[in-house]
Amino acid sequence: MDPALEELGKKVGGCFAESMGSVFSMLTGRDFAITPKDGALVDHAGITALYDGPAVYAKVQYTKGMTGPMLFAMPLKEGTMLVDLMLGGDGAASEELAGDSKDALAETINQSMGSANQALSDMAGETLSISNVEIHASTETDPAKLEELLGPGPFFDLPLDTAQESLQAVIHVLIPDLLAEQMKRKLGLGEAAAPAPEPEPEPVRTPEAAPVSAPAPTASRAASGPVAAPSAPVDTGNLDLLLDIELPLMVRMGQTEMPLGDLLKLTPGSILELNRAADAPVELLVNGKQIAKGEVVVVDGNFAFRITEIESAAARLKSLA
């Protein structure tokens, strides 16, 4: 296998194992152990052979920085068991995934994908944005029809062994070939290192030339041009002293303008139309500066903000400077 692809498997597999383990444990209140395994190339026929029965596929599109779908596959039975744990149950299996169960699994994968994608964005040094997760339960075993659902292959398959007291499963992260190539470039994998300059040959001295005084090394360098002074070290400042400072965060759904007269006419039940479509992402601002986009969700009866697009750590720090 291509060494760059193997290195990509280690980085991406590690990101998703960590993010899924953290999200699954947080949402269920139970300990999950997720271990990445060596990746392999598979086609659609190979995907149908991953599981003996029905499977659940999660699909999310990259919309910025890269293009193409990222896919996840797991057995339907274990997928429903995971959802039951998410909803406060004991991990009971179900024969189908629909309604609230489907939404719960989409939310779980969305949070896992968002966490892992943030780590990948930091590695790439730029923002990699994704769309919302689509969930598909399928019994399809025909490779041609499976291609209609998942898109063209081949795929780089990264298995994640997932273990919990009542659940044992293998979740497969499936990266289409075209997306894998983009990921390798973004993460700087497989790039040939620049050749080191060849050392200048030492001057050959003959016995007759030995008594002749050679120019001092400094004179020789001066003859070829001025020597640049060493650059001063970059002052990174005392950033560590600022990391505990609390900053105000604001979620902005939209804004509008109106005459003062209309403002004074507002009463309970009045409706204000904002300058943002209902399906457009809302903004997260820190000190009045936008650093992320996302959507409003409800967690334990409270409003919450789920990030779908965020600047890299370096860009966030620069925007707040």
* pLDDT one-digit tens code per residue, 198-229: 555 555 454 444 444 444 444 334 334 444 44
pLDDT at residue number 233 = 44
Residue with tokens 């370096």: 314
Q: Which helix (H) or strand (E) holds 64?
A: strand 55-64
Across 166-181, average pLDDT: 92
Pairing of strands 134-138, 155-164: unpaired
pLDDT at residue number 244 = 66
Contact 114, 127 (CB under 8 A): no
Across 57-70, average pLDDT: 90
Confidence of residue 237 (pLDDT cuts 50, 70, 90): low
Lowest mean pLDDT among 157-171, 188-202, 300-314: 188-202
- Give the pLDDT confidence of 107-157 residue by residue, as tens digits: 888 888 888 888 888 888 888 888 888 898 888 888 888 898 899 889 999
Hey, what domains does the chain have and what are their CATH numbers? 3-186 (3.40.1550.10), 247-264+274-319 (2.30.330.10)
pLDDT at residue number 43 = 93
| % of the chain at pLDDT higher than 90 | 22
Across 253-266, average pLDDT: 82
| % of the chain at pLDDT higher than 70 | 81
Instruction: Please classify residue 14 by burial: count the beta carbons closer than 10 Å to its beta carbon, then call 0-12 exposed, 13-18 middle and 19+ buried.
Output: middle
Confidence of residue 106 (pLDDT cuts 50, 70, 90): confident
Assigned token pair, 109: 């994968």
Question: Based on C-alpha coordinates, what's the Rg of the chain?
Answer: 28
Across 52-80, average pLDDT: 90
d(CA 287, CA 307) in angstroms, rounded, equals 18
Q: pTM surpassing 0.85?
A: no
Angle of helix 177-186 relative to helix 3-28, nearest 10 degrees, comes to 100
d(CA 91, CA 94) in angstroms, rounded, equals 10
Residue 235 has pLDDT above 70, yes or no: no
Residue of 133, 157, 161, 134 whose CA lies nearest to 48: 157
Instruction: Please classify residue 131 by burial: count the beta carbons closer than 10 Å to its beta carbon, then call 0-12 exposed, 13-18 middle and 19+ buried.
Output: middle
β-sheet bridge partners, residue 164:
167
Report the residue count for the chain: 321
Query: What is the SS3 assignment for 123?
Result: helix
pLDDT at residue number 74 = 92
Residue 57 has pLDDT above 90, yes or no: yes
Residue 71 has pLDDT above 90, yes or no: yes
